[in-house]
């Protein structure tokens, strides 16, 4: 609760260079009187300027300076909140804005705007709108609650019920939701990127595997080619071996033929020798008529016989030789044939040997190829990159889960903090209380109408014959009673909540316009009732009628063009 002690000002509007001070907690009810322009309403401007840095009436700040002195405007307000006393000092020409807490000046390094924010949010916990609805009601600028827009009504009630914090929280929450959304987009983007990386890696690995398979296929084909080559070579070898056996079998007579040839040649030699011998005998008998040894004459008959015998012999041998020559030619031919066959055998054997060489080369090659196949199949693809990326993705997914969980929490919080959430719950609790109070105050002012507010602070009029009524339907005096009932209700709620609670209530000409004598009386009775811990100031021109109903009176007057409090 803010307990106001006093406010003082100088060089402010029509006040000159002397302090005008109003003690705000001296009397429970004070009537402020004075002629038009005497300086009564100035107190509202002084309080507003001190607390909020702006005038109450619709003028700008420089217009507050007294036009005669034109400088040294100063306003001071003293109040206590709990155990601490505060003094706020403001000035124009020179500019001044100071907050003293327990007579110590609060750090002024912040900008004026922040200093003001600090004052409103952390010290008085009251803003200009609520102040001008609950503490000071001026005829010039006061807009009755019921004539405010829904948004302004809600703001005042939120202030009153001290639930503005939820609005502030909602603003922060919206920022958090936005950040959460951005984080989620970010993490999703990163996950996508990592997944793309994996895809590229996998493609690469598949390529490697395909290449390895291609190679293995090729090598296996090589093996199967080699195997069929070997089979073909072995088949050939078998055929060739068979041929060799056949051929070798066909020339088993070679030895015999050679032997026979030798025999024929030796017989031929013998026959040649025999012919030579016979020819020599014929020669002898032709050349000799006597025996060279015994010198006896050789008989011609014998001679002829001997020659004939030899010649016969030669003829016989020649026939035999001819036969032998035939036989020789036959055997020679056979030997030639055998030799040809032997050449053929050699050729086959060479082929077999070549084939065997090829087979062993192929075997060697197959062994190598098999080794290559095993090596290729056993080749390990490097998976480490993928494993690392998968680890990273798992981490990102964890993070994503956390962000999503946070989003769920934020969603719940958003539900709670939106206007229909906690605030509505709290407002709902207070609406019946408020309605009870409104109707109590209306009854106290002898205005018997059931005027209630719903959760949206729209009026609900339940009185008989007035179902179609709205606030606007009522007369000025009736409206005034509703306005006052609302004002008193807000103050009662503020007291309950200890939120916008102050000891001060200033009503500037609130009665003068539309309240009739009866209304004034009833309202004053009410003020008396609430006046126990409240200091009520009523500015009015109806001084004569009201004077005796107040515990004290302040009269303002103009003296030599400057306003002052009359002695």
Ligand X SMILES: Nc1ncnc2c1ncn2[C@@H]1O[C@H](COP(=O)(O)OP(=O)(O)OP(=O)(O)O)[C@@H](O)[C@H]1O
> Rounded to whole angstroms, how far apart are CA atoms 537 and 535?
7
37 binds, options Mg ion, ligand X, none, Cβ within 5 to 8 A by partner type: ligand X
> Rounded to whole angstroms, how far apart are CA atoms 167 and 405?
23
Pick one of 13, 50, 134, 264: the residue that binds ligand X (CB under 6 A): 13
The contact pattern for ligand X, residues 524-563, with x = CB under 6 A and - = no contact, is --------------------------------x------x
> Rounded to whole angstroms, how far apart are CA atoms 136 and 210?
88
Residue 15 phi/psi, 5° resolution? -85, 135
Give the β-pairing of 504-508 and 535-539. Answer: parallel
> Rounded to whole angstroms, how far apart are CA atoms 65 and 73?
6
> Rounded to whole angstroms, how far apart are CA atoms 64 and 41?
13
> Does 506 engage in binding with ligand X (CB under 6 A)?
no
To Mg ion, the closest distance from the beta carbon of 515 in angstroms equals 17
Pick one of 41, 78, 130, 540: the residue that binds ligand X (CB under 6 A): 41
> Does 39 engage in binding with ligand X (CB under 6 A)?
yes
499 binds, options ligand X, Mg ion, none, Cβ within 5 to 8 A by partner type: none
Binding part of the chain for ligand X, among 31-39, 111-119, 122-130, 348-356 by CB under 6 A, reads 31-39
> Does 42 engage in binding with ligand X (CB under 6 A)?
yes
Is-contact 50 99, C-beta < 8 A? no
Give the number of other CB atoms < 10 A from CB of residue 308. Answer: 12
Is-contact 310 281, C-beta < 8 A? yes
Q: Which two tokens stand for residue 322?
A: 């001819």
> Rounded to whole angstroms, how far apart are CA atoms 446 and 485?
11
Q: Which of residues 44-63 bind ligand X (CB under 6 A)?
A: 63
To Mg ion, the closest distance from the beta carbon of 536 in angstroms equals 17
To Mg ion, the closest distance from the beta carbon of 539 in angstroms equals 6
To ligand X, the closest distance from the beta carbon of 475 in angstroms equals 24
Residue 272 phi/psi, 5° resolution? -65, -45
To ligand X, the closest distance from the beta carbon of 512 in angstroms equals 9
Nearer to ligand X, 140 or 202 (CB): 140
> Does 36 engage in binding with ligand X (CB under 6 A)?
yes
> Rounded to whole angstroms, how far apart are CA atoms 316 and 298?
26
> Does 14 engage in binding with Mg ion (CB under 5 A)?
no
Q: How far is CA 453 from the centre of its chain?
A: 48
SS3 13: coil
Pick one of 41, 66, 237, 500: the residue that binds Mg ion (CB under 5 A): 41
To Mg ion, the closest distance from the beta carbon of 51 in angstroms equals 19
Nearer to ligand X, 73 or 403 (CB): 73
Q: Which of residues 60-89 bind ligand X (CB under 6 A)?
A: 63, 65-67
Q: How far is CA 203 from the centre of its chain?
A: 25
> Does 38 engage in binding with ligand X (CB under 6 A)?
yes
Is-contact 510 139, C-beta < 8 A? yes
To ligand X, the closest distance from the beta carbon of 132 in angstroms equals 16
Alpha-helical regions (H) of 14-120: 42-52, 112-118
36 binds, options ligand X, Mg ion, none, Cβ within 5 to 8 A by partner type: ligand X
Binding part of the chain for ligand X, among 40-48, 89-97, 316-324, 424-432 by CB under 6 A, reads 40-48
The contact pattern for ligand X, residues 213-232, with x = CB under 6 A and - = no contact, is --------------------
Is-contact 48 56, C-beta < 8 A? yes
Binding part of the chain for Mg ion, among 1-9, 33-41, 68-76, 403-411 by CB under 5 A, reads 33-41
For residue 219, what are the CA distances in angstroms to 212, 230, 369?
10, 16, 6
Task: Give, to the nearest 10 degrees, the angle between helix 422-444 and helix 517-530.
Answer: 120
Nearer to ligand X, 45 or 331 (CB): 45
The dihedral region occupied by 180, where left means phi > 0, alpha psi between -120 and 50, and beta the remainder, is alpha
To ligand X, the closest distance from the beta carbon of 39 in angstroms equals 4
Nearer to ligand X, 37 or 432 (CB): 37
> Does 37 engage in binding with ligand X (CB under 6 A)?
yes
Binding site for Mg ion (CB under 5 A): 40-41
| Chain residues that interact with ligand X, rule: CB under 6 A | 13-14, 34, 36-42, 63, 65-67, 556, 563
């Amino acid at each position: 609760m803010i307990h106001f002690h006093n406010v003082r000002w100088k060089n402010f509007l029509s006040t000159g260079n002397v302090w005008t001070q109003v003690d705000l907690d001296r009397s429970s009810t004070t009537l402020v009187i004075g002629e038009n322009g005497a300086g009564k309403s100035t107190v509202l401007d002084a309080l507003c300027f001190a607390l909020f840095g702006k005038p109450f009436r619709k003028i700008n700040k420089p217009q507050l300076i007294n036009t005669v002195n034109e400088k040294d405007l100063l306003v001071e307000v003293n109040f206590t909140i709990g155990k601490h006393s505060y003094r706020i000092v403001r000035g124009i020409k020179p500019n001044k804005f100071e907050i003293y807490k327990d007579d110590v000046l609060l750090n002024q390094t912040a900008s004026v705007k922040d200093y003001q924010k600090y004052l409103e949010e952390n010290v008085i916990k009251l803003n200009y709108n609520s102040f001008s609805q609950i503490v000071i009601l001026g005829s010039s600028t006061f807009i009755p609650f019921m004539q405010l827009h829904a948004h302004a009504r809600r703001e005042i009630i939120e202030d009153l019920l001290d639930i503005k914090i939820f609005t502030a929280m909602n603003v922060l929450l919206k920022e958090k939701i936005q950040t959460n959304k951005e984080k989620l987009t970010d993490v999703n983007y990163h996950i996508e990127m990592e997944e793309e990386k994996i895809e590229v890696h996998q493609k690469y690995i598949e390529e490697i595997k395909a290449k390895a398979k291609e190679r293995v296929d090729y090598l296996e084909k090589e093996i199967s080619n080699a195997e069929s080559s070997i089979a073909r070579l072995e088949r050939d070898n078998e055929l060739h071996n068979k041929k060799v056996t056949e051929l070798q079998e066909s020339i088993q007579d070679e030895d015999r033929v050679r032997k026979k040839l030798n025999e024929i040649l030796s017989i031929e030699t013998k026959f040649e020798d025999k012919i030579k011998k016979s020819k020599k005998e014929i020669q002898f008998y032709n050349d000799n008529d006597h025996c060279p040894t015994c010198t006896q004459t050789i008989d011609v008959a014998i001679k002829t016989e001997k020659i004939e015998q030899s010649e016969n012999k030669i003829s016989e041998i020649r026939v035999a030789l001819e036969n032998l020559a035939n036989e020789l030619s036959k055997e020679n031919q056979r030997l030639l044939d055998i030799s040809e066959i032997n050449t053929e055998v050699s050729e086959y054997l060479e082929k077999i040997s070549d084939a065997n060489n090829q087979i062993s080369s192929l075997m060697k090659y197959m062994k190598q190829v098999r080794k290559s196949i095993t090596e290729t199949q056993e080749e390990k693809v490097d998976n480490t990159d993928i494993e690392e990326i998968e680890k990273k993705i798992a981490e990102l997914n964890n993070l994503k889960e956390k962000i999503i969980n946070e989003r769920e929490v934020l969603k719940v919080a958003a539900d709670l903090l939106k206007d229909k959430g906690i605030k509505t719950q709290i407002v709902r609790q207070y609406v019946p209380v408020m309605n009870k109070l409104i109707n109590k105050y209306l009854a106290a002012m002898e205005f018997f109408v059931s005027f209630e507010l719903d959760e949206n602070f729209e009026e609900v009029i339940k009185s008989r014959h007035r179902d179609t009524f709205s606030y606007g339907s009522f007369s000025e005096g009736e409206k005034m009673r509703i306005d006052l009932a609302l004002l008193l209700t807000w103050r009662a709620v503020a007291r309950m909540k200890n939120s916008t609670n102050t000891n001060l209530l200033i009503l500037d000409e609130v009665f003068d316009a539309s309240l009739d004598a009866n209304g004034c009386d009833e309202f004053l009775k009410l003020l008396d009732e609430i006046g126990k811990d409240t200091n009520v100031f009523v500015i009015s021109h109806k001084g004569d009628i009201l004077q005796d109903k107040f515990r004290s009176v302040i009269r303002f007057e103009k003296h030599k063009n400057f306003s002052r409090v009359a002695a």
